[in-house]
Amino acid sequence: MSDEGRILRFQIFRYNPQKKGDKPRMVTYEVTEAPGMTIFIALNDIRENQDPSLQFDFICRAGICGSCGMVINGAPDLACRTLTSKFEEGEITLLPLPGFELIGDLSVNTGKFMRAMSERVESWIHDINADEVDYNKLEERMDPDVMDEVYELERCVECGCCISACATKRMRPDFLSAVGFMRLARFYLDPRDKRTDEEFYEIIGDDDGVFGCMTLLGCEDYCPKDLPHQTQIAFLRRKMALVK
């Protein structure tokens, strides 16, 4: 807050694949910093007052929805809750998350990837009786501690930062990566999901699954929600190693 009024220099990746002849480039914008300014506020300021063509995604602007992942001074993070005061030099470089289809400028298509991921890991409760439940009756009892643990893993907002921080994903396009492992770990832990270890193995028991992870820890380091990726990957790897 002490830096009120200083000039911030944003270097922003610009490229609109929809526009014929457009070329990727970096463009610099200057913004006067306001108290409590986040990158969300600054980008809107730029779009409204300097360049209305600038593309970026924000929905909740509160760190809840995961739509605004981007590479901020080299690190993938949620832009909505990144305060500009964090950058002492006032120089901020913004790039779109790598590893996803580029929509334009800072906007990438995480949705397409995440839907495919959900289909691949079948991220729903597998219980042939789930649709036969009589909802007038008392619900099935669950251990409160287990439910709390499931929620801990359920907290992923699919922002894509882990994927952008993953070197294996760079080298191996079909690598499921941390977001997929976390989803699966969540269902593995859930007593309602009746899948066997063998069935989980079919999904992640190869080099595109947990055995491909090089344990570089990018996912864990850059997860905005501080999810325990490495613990879960290690856990799944151990479980899967025992299957065959």
Partner 1 sequence: MNIIYTDNLIIGGGLAGLRVAIAAKQRGYESIILSLMPAKRSHSAAAQGGMQASLGACIKGEGDDEDVHFADTVKGSDWGCDQDVARMFVNTAPKAIRQLSAWGVPWSRVRGGDHDVVINGEKVTITEHNESHGLITARDFGGTKKWRTCYTSDGTGHTMLYTMDNKAIQMDIPVHERKEAIALIHEDGVCHGAVVRDLITGELIAYVVKTTTIATGGYGRLYAVSTNAVISEGIGTAIALETGVATLGNMEAVQFHPTAIVPVGILTTEGCRGDGGLLLDKDGYRFMPDYEPDKKELASRDVVSRRMTEHMRKGKGVSSRYGDHLWLDITLLGRDHIEKNLREVKEICEYFLGIDPVKEYIPVRPTQHYSMGGVRTNATGESLTLKGLFSAGEAACWDMHGFNRLGGNSVAETVVAGMLVGEYVADYCAANSLKVSTSTIEHFVKREEGKIADLLTRDYGENPFQLKAEMQKIMMDKVGIFRNGEDLAQAVEELKLLNQRAKKIALRNRISSSNPELVEAIRVPKMIKLAQCVAYGAQLRTESRGAHAREDFPERNDRDWLKRTLTTWKDEDSDLPEVTYEDLDIMKMEMPPGSRGYGVDNTVHHPDTEKRIAEIEEIKTANPTADRHEMQELLNPLDIPEKFKGKNERIGRGYK
Residues in touch with partner 1 (CB under 8 A): 16, 18-19, 35-36, 38, 47-48, 51-55, 57-67, 81, 83, 103-104, 107, 109-112, 114-115, 118-119, 122-125, 127, 130, 133-144, 147-148, 150-151, 154-155, 157-158, 187, 190, 192-193
Question: In angstroms, what is the minimal distance from the CB of 46 to partner 1?
Answer: 11
Q: Which of 189, 159, 162 is nearest to 178 (CA)?
A: 162
Q: Considering the complex, state which of residue 89 and residue 119 has its C-beta at the smaller distance from partner 1.
A: 119
Distance CA(166)–CA(169), nearest Å, equals 5
Residue 85 phi/psi, 5-degree rounding, is -65, -15
Question: In angstroms, what is the minimal distance from the CB of 132 to partner 1?
Answer: 9
Q: What is the SS3 assignment for 72?
A: strand
For tokens 């790039």, what's the residue?
95
Question: In angstroms, what is the minimal distance from the CB of 148 to partner 1?
Answer: 7
Q: Considering the complex, state which of residue 49 and residue 231 has its C-beta at the smaller distance from partner 1.
A: 49
Question: In angstroms, what is the minimal distance from the CB of 80 to partner 1?
Answer: 9
Q: Considering the complex, state which of residue 86 and residue 238 has its C-beta at the smaller distance from partner 1.
A: 86
Q: Considering the complex, state which of residue 15 and residue 235 has its C-beta at the smaller distance from partner 1.
A: 15
Q: Considering the complex, state which of residue 38 and residue 168 has its C-beta at the smaller distance from partner 1.
A: 38
Q: Considering the complex, state which of residue 59 and residue 167 has its C-beta at the smaller distance from partner 1.
A: 59
Long-range contacts for 68-71 (Cβ within 8 Å, ≥24 apart)? 68/39, 68/40, 68/159, 69/97, 69/108, 69/110, 69/159, 69/160, 69/161, 69/164, 69/224, 70/94, 70/95, 70/96, 70/97, 70/106, 71/95, 71/96, 71/97, 71/98, 71/164
Question: In angstroms, what is the minimal distance from the CB of 180 to partner 1?
Answer: 13
Question: In angstroms, what is the minimal distance from the CB of 171 to partner 1?
Answer: 26
Q: What is the DSSP letter of 20?
A: T
Instruction: Name the token pair of 243.
Output: 């299957």
Q: What is the SS3 assignment for 165?
A: coil
